[in-house]
Structure 1
C-alpha cells in the first residue's frame, strides 16, 4: 500500500500502475465514511482497459491520517491535486461519489486545468442552508460522542437502497463495515467541513470538458439534484442506474461500469 505525505498529512492510496504513464488517468474519490476499498472493482475493471487508476483514502478515512476538528472540501481537493503532483500527473478524469463528488466539483472550481473530464455520482451541488449546517454539526457531535457503530446501522438503509439491504447482503455488509471502521474523528471533521462547503452551480455552468452524471434511481438523497447538474453542464451526459440507491457502483456494479466505461471510451474517440 503506497502512502505519501501531502499537505502535512499521510495519505494512503491505490495506484493500479505506479510505473505507468500519465496519459489515461482515472482519479476515484470515495464518499463520507467510506474509503478507497469501495472502488476495488472499478480499479480492476478499468486498469484492465489500460487506465491508470488512482484511488486515495481521503484525509481522515481508511488508512490516511486523521485531521481532527474540521476538514474543508477545499482541503480534500488540495490533497487530491497534491497527490497528482507527486505522481507527475498533469490531468485526470476526476470521478467523485457523494462527498467525493463535492470534492470533484471543488477540484473543477479551483484547479480546472487538472480535469480532463468530470464524473459526478450521487451527490448534490448546492451549499447547505442553515438547517443543513446545523444537522451536519449535530451529526458530527454524535460521531465524536458515540462512535461509528450505531451510526453505521442507522444510515445503512439510505447509503444503499432499503430493498438491497436484504437483497444484497454482501454489499450491505461491506458498506456497514466500511462505515464502522471509519475513524470517528475523521468522519466528524469531514461532516463539519461539508456543512460549510460552497455551492457549485456556477462552477458546473462553466465546465467545458466532457462530463458524466450518474445516479441510482432510488437514491434517497437525490431530490432531483442529478438532473439539475446534468442541465447545468453544457457537455454532459446523464445515466440513472436501476436497482440502486445511493451507491450504484456497489449495488449494480456491472451497469455502473458499463456506463462509466462507455464515457471513458468516448474520451479517446
Structure 2
C-alpha cells in the first residue's frame, strides 16, 4: 500500500475499524437513520433546533486540544460523507492547538432528518447557532464538497463570525442549472432506491476520481447502505434526495466573488465532480466539472483568495494527500 495512505488510515481510528460490508443487503446489520450503530471518532453531542417550525437536533463533535492556542475551527462535511471522515484533520488541528467543532448538518449523519426541503440559509444559521451555544465568537471555516457551499453562505451572511475560509474540493463553483434540466424529486428517489452498494462504490470511485484503497471507501458505503435496514429508511432517503435538490436549486457561485475573508481553495487535480451531470444533455456534459480552472477564475475575482492544486488527487484530497493538505491547511490558518 502507498505510504501516504497508511498515515491517513492510522488516523481514522475507530472509523476504519468498521469491518468490510457484506455483499448482500440482507446480511447488513441495520443502522438507524441517525447513523445509530456507526462509530464516530469523538463523543457526539446534540443541539436542539427549530427549522421552519420543525423540532430538530443537530449532532456535533467538540474536540479540545491539549494545548489550546485560543482559536477554533469548524469543519463542514460533504453530502455523501458523515462528519466522522474528518478524523485525520481533527487530529492535525488539535495537535496544533485548535479547538475543533465538527457538526453534522441537519439532514445528514447523526442529525435529524427533516420532513421538508433543505436550505443553505438554514444550514448556515444552524451552524452559527451552534457557535453561539459553544460561546465561539469567531472561527476559521474549513469545508469540503457541499460543505463549501454552506461555508460560503456563512461567510456571506455572517462575515464577522469567520476568520479564514478554506474550501476543500468544493462543489458549487458553477451553476448546475445552466447545464442540467430540473429533475423531479420522485425521479431522483426512484434512481436512488435502485442503487446497490456495489453501484454506489463505483459511483463514488468514478464521480470523485478516488485514489483511496477499497477498505478506506467501505465506511462510506456502510453509512449509506446499512440504513436500508431501518424502518425509517424512506424518510432518510427523502432527506438525502432533498440535499441533491438543495445543491441544484440554491447555487452559491454568484456569491463567491463577494467573499472578503482570506480564502484558500485546495483542489484535487483529477477532481471533475459535477452533481447532476448524468442528467445533462450529452453535448453539455464535457463542459461541466472543470473544478480547478473554475476555482482559479473565481479566486481572481476575489479580494483575498488563492488556489492550490494537488496533483494525482481526486475529490477526497485531504485523505488522498494528507501530508500536503495538512501543510497547506496549517500554513493558511496561521496567515493573517
TM bin (shorter chain)? 0.7 to 0.9
Task: Give the unaligned 5+ runs of structure 1.
Answer: none
Gaps of 5+ in 2: 1-43, 228-235, 274-288
**Residues 86-145 of structure 1: CA deviation (Å, up to 9, x unaligned):** 111111111221110101111112111211111111123333316535258477423664
Task: Give the match's secondary structure for 1:239.
Answer: strand
Pairing 1:1-80 to 2, within 5 Å after superposition: 1-7=44-50, 8-17=55-64, 23-80=70-127
**Kindly tell me: are residues 55 and 47 of structure 1, through their superposed partners in 2, closer, same or farther at Cα, counting changes over 3 Å?**
same
DSSP-derived class of the 2:123 partner: helix
Tell me, what secondary structure is at the counterpart of 2:122? Answer: helix
- Determine the C-alpha separation between the residues in 2 that align with 1:71 and 1:145: 20
Whichever of the two has the greater Rg, that structure is 2
The Cα RMSD (Å) is 2.7
1:252–1:89 CA distance, 2 compared to 1 (3 A): same
Aligned equivalent of 1:190: 243
Structure 1 residue corresponding to 2:200, chosen from 136, 152, 174: 152
Q: How does 1:102-181 map to 2 (within 5 A)?
A: 102-123=149-170, 124-129=172-177, 131-132=179-180, 134-135=182-183, 137=185, 140-142=188-190, 145-146=193-194, 149=197, 152-162=200-210, 164=211, 168-180=213-225
- Aligned counterparts of 1:148 and 1:114: Cα–Cα separation in 2: 41
Structure 1 residue 23: Cα displacement: 4.2
Number of residues of Structure 1 aligned to a counterpart in Structure 2: 263
Q: Tell me the TM-score normalized by structure 2.
A: 0.70
Q: Structure 1 length normalisation: TM-score?
A: 0.86
Matches within 5 A, 1:222-233: 222-223=289-290, 224-233=293-302
**Secondary structure at 1:132's aligned position in 2?**
coil
Maintained 8 Å contact 2:80/2:220: no
